[in-house]
Structure 1
Amino acid sequence: MSPDLALDWRAPHETDVAQTLGVLRRGPGDPTFTRTPDGAIWRATLTDAGAATLRIQQRDVDSIRVEAWGPGSAAAVALAPSMLGERDDTTGFRTGIDELDAAHRRNPGLRVPRTARVMESLVPAILEQKVITLQAHASWRRLVLAFGEPAPGPVPRPMRVAPSADGWRGIPVWEWHRAGVDPKRAAAIQRVAARAARIEEAADLAHVDAAARLTLFPGVGAWTAAEVAQRALGDPDAVSVGDYHLSNYVGHALFGRDMTDDEMLEALEPWAGQRYRVIRLMMAAGLRGRPRRGPRMSFVDHRGR
């Protein structure tokens, strides 16, 4: 089935499609995202013009083929270079730490994506608040399968487009419960969905102003805003302050000890402007975080409450 629109794009710098877009996937069962054996990434998205499915294929270190199906094809293809890190120029970037600079050299195509679709990143970020990732991914999967629309085009497996703002607002209380989402997170999603137009405007703001805009909404704090900035806004400096594991991961990766959020921010200060990139490089370098000694977060079942 021929695409409705296609783009052969040559990036201005080396770009690794899988590394760059991998952060957009919400678990292995994400109905909006899949990777096929040929290495292509398929992604279903909702644009202002309607639903679209993208197939993104790496051809060379800087050559990428983007194909699109659906009424939102033109809008999705227009955003594809930004999503693939077109604006994320790392020329001259150095950390001053041998292991991290080596990781940067080994991963020259690692880019920070900018989807410019804010609600698309905000809703799953709210679902991930204060629960284990596995549980949040299960909630996202169930809700998108139940209330999203079928992804257009010759998708390699059944895929869905995440609900529109009106779709999120229309989910009944009992369906949030069945999906394992407590009333507080459900209410936060419905609040932001009611102001989706204001939320989407954050994509055109400076990063500091976008964070301020997002955190005006009850239920959207610094952690949630950073998670959105890392995906929708292309912010290489967005640190997920308040993350259950991150401060201790950074503390042990750099200094071999636990850290508070404030200590983590102080430790990352030499890389202000690039702190999220540095954290990703720590992970790419295989730097080990805090040894697991204490109990892990437990699965919280909200369905009976």
Structure 2
Amino acid sequence: MSLPRTLSPDAPPGLDLARTLSPLRMGVSDPCWHAAPDGSWSWATRTPAGALTLRLRPADGGVAAEAWGPGADWAPALLPGLLGVHDRPERLVADGPVAELVARYPGFRLARSARVADAALAGVCRRGVSAFEAGRAWSLMVEAMGDDAPGPGGLRLPPAPRRVAASEPYDLHVLGLEAQRADEVRRIASHAPRLELEGGEPPAGVVDRLRGIAGLGADAVDHARSVALGAPDALPVVDGHHRAALVEVLARPDAPAADAEALLEAHRPQRGRVVRLVGLSLEAAAEAG
């Protein structure tokens, strides 16, 4: 194994690395991610230059990073997004339970992976099923259509677009994706080369290309905007348990009953941030047992 490239990226003061990165993974069993007991997080992904494994860990009030693989030269470009350097959490003006969540997670930032196709695939996997079922489908797809990642840790790279695009409906059915979602993931994969962010291209360009994929649901586009681009108003795809928690947090005792989407309207243009904050509270509750 070759020695890693080491980096010392700038990080926002007080960054909570775990809370910032955890929304990017597809559950605790995501083969592309590993959270270690020492507080480090490892991520395997594909870049235009090849495979990349990144390991990030808190260090001296900041973050230290190591990169393995032919995609290591892309690490400096990806790190600011992963660490939420672009994010402006102070733009969420909230009161009541939402303000309490903001105070509970002061180091949380909206990260962006910059991997648009992978995020759209994950959004399709999440649609209409529980978080467990979505994570299982994603993990099976990674194991069946991904590759071993460089570096330590035994991580897997996300599904290779060419394999997903060439798959048959039955190949995806056995992974837990019915015909509609299977068709969408193949469409995303066939367009994956066009979904790379190019240089200093504004995010709107790649979003337009993603929206231009025939038959792709708007929720998958929004999920990609949330995960890959860190858009604070984009709504990630969440399950019924998460939506119920949103209603519990956002509903006013003296207001008529409403669903999560309607209740989130009061928080434009920061709806996605509110969804993530509620998700962090659910993760904390699960960790506490």
TM exceeds 0.5? yes
- Decide whether aligned partners of structure 1 residues 135 and 98 sit closer, same or farther in structure 2, where only a CA change above 3 A counts: closer
Kindly indicate whether the alpha-carbon contact (under 8 Å) linking 2:197 and 2:203 is maintained by their aligned counterparts in 1. no
Could you give the per-residue CA deviations for residues 31-74 of structure 1, whole angstroms, max 9, x where no partner exists? 1011111111111010010001111101244x001101000011
- Decide whether aligned partners of structure 1 residues 215 and 28 sit closer, same or farther in structure 2, where only a CA change above 3 A counts: same
Tell me the distance in 2 between the aligned counterparts of 1:30 and 1:262: 27
Q: Identity of counterpart residues, as a percentage?
A: 33
* Residue number in structure 2 paired with 1:69: 68
Shift of 1:143: 1.6
Shift of 1:145: 1.0
* Counterpart residue identity of residue 68, structure 2: W
Kindly indicate whether the alpha-carbon contact (under 8 Å) linking 2:20 and 2:111 is maintained by their aligned counterparts in 1. yes
Question: Which stretches in structure 1 are left out of the alignment for 5+ residues?
Answer: 287-305
Tell me the distance in 1 between the aligned counterparts of 2:114 and 2:78: 8
* Counterpart residue identity of residue 223, structure 1: D
Kindly indicate whether the alpha-carbon contact (under 8 Å) linking 1:120 and 1:162 is maintained by their aligned counterparts in 2. yes
The secondary structure found in structure 1 opposite 2:167 is coil
Shift of 1:149: 1.0
1:98-247 equivalences in 2 (<5 Å): 98-155=96-153, 158-201=154-197, 204-206=201-203, 211-240=207-236, 244=240
* Residue number in structure 2 paired with 1:13: 13
Question: How many residues are paired up?
Answer: 278
TM-score by length of 2: 0.85
* Residue number in structure 2 paired with 1:23: 23
Tell me the distance in 2 between the aligned counterparts of 1:187 and 1:283: 28
* Counterpart residue identity of residue 50, structure 2: G
Tell me the distance in 1 between the aligned counterparts of 2:173 and 2:104: 44
* Residue number in structure 1 paired with 2:47: 47
- Looking at secondary structure, tell me which structure has more helix per residue: 2
Question: Which stretches in structure 2 are left out of the alignment for 5+ residues?
Answer: 283-289
Q: CA RMSD in A?
A: 2.7
Tell me the distance in 1 between the aligned counterparts of 2:77 and 2:42: 16
Kindly indicate whether the alpha-carbon contact (under 8 Å) linking 1:247 and 1:258 is maintained by their aligned counterparts in 2. no
Shift of 1:246: 5.6
* Counterpart residue identity of residue 139, structure 2: R
Could you give the per-residue CA deviations for residues 133-189 of structure 1, whole angstroms, max 9, x where no partner exists? 22221121112112211110122xx32101232122133443212212222211111
